[in-house]
Amino acid sequence: MNYKIKDMDNIKIYKDNYQVCYNLAKELKRLNQRGATVALSGGSSPLLLFNIMKDDFKPSDFDKIKFFWVDERFVEKQSEESNFGNFSRILIDNNVISKKQVFPMYKNLSIDETIRNMESKISDNVQFSNGLPSFDLIILGLGDDGHTASLFPDNLKALDSIDILIKTKHPISKQNRITLTKNVINNSKKIVFLCLGENKAYKIKQVLIEQDKTLPASYIKRDETVYWYLDRTAAILI
């Protein structure tokens, strides 16, 4: 079932970045009531979300959530480039989230061993459906090149993987990444694209309206379980 852009049911447009992330934090609080598995993305937008969780909510608002990562740079967890590291410095170091709630990926073992180890943790903690993990919520970003997770336009074949996690490389830096596959992302119970700023507007149009199949983000399912959380400037072209 494809949702229609004109209906706007699944497209949440807020006046500014704060309101976008505050309302997403409220959704996390709602999921927390019954417990949930959530996979987070990196980038600058989630940093605002994390700070709002720290400043405007209580630890008990999120204490039944298990946090995983959609993708990760293959770096040490202390690295400033680490998605988990940024989460940890804001939320774990400030006692908002407990270490026992998080399941990070980082450079400790080889990349293949890290993938196997994380797949085991996912299998132990995430409900499966259709033979794949089914996270309660996956939060995605949208890159300037149309990538999402660490699924990049120069390697569309990676979208066909039947694995849970795969290794990829950033097309410019050649940095190793670990990412959930498209099939796992599409098997989640709910997906939120978190996109902030006018610089995202054209790519949002390409994905939502044009369904440009040269962009990995266009391969994410289009149904009533997929939401877009946007500020006004990000939504100007839809």
- Reported confidence tier of residue 1, pLDDT bands at 50, 70, 90: very low
pLDDT of 3 > 80? The answer is no
**Does 162 have pLDDT greater than 80?**
yes
**What does the mean pLDDT of the chain come to?**
95
Tokens at 66, concatenated:
């298990």
Taking the C-alpha atoms of residue 122 and residue 119, their distance in angstroms, rounded to an integer, is 5
pLDDT in tens, 30-51: 999 999 999 999 988 999 999 9
pLDDT of 8 above 90: no
Domain positions in the chain are 9-231
pTM for the model stands at 0.95
Q: What's the whole-number mean pLDDT along residues 6-15?
A: 82
pLDDT at residue 29 is higher than 80: yes
pLDDT for position 153 = 98
- pLDDT for 6 equals 47
**Is residue 111 pLDDT above 80, yes or no?**
yes
Give the CATH class of 9-231.
alpha beta
Model confidence at 116: pLDDT above 70: yes
pLDDT single digits (tens) 166-179: 999 999 999 999 99
What is the average per-residue pLDDT within 202-226? 96
**Mean pLDDT value of segment 186-206:** 98
Of 12, 49, 66, 39, residue with least CA distance to 148: 39
DSSP 188-219: SS-EEEEE-SGGGHHHHHHHHTS--TTSGGGG
Could you tell me the CA-to-CA distances from 16 to 182, 196, 197 in Å, in that order?
A: 29, 8, 9
pLDDT tens digit string along 69-104?
999 999 998 899 999 999 999 999 999 999 999 999
Contacts of 60 (CB under 8 A, 6+ apart): none
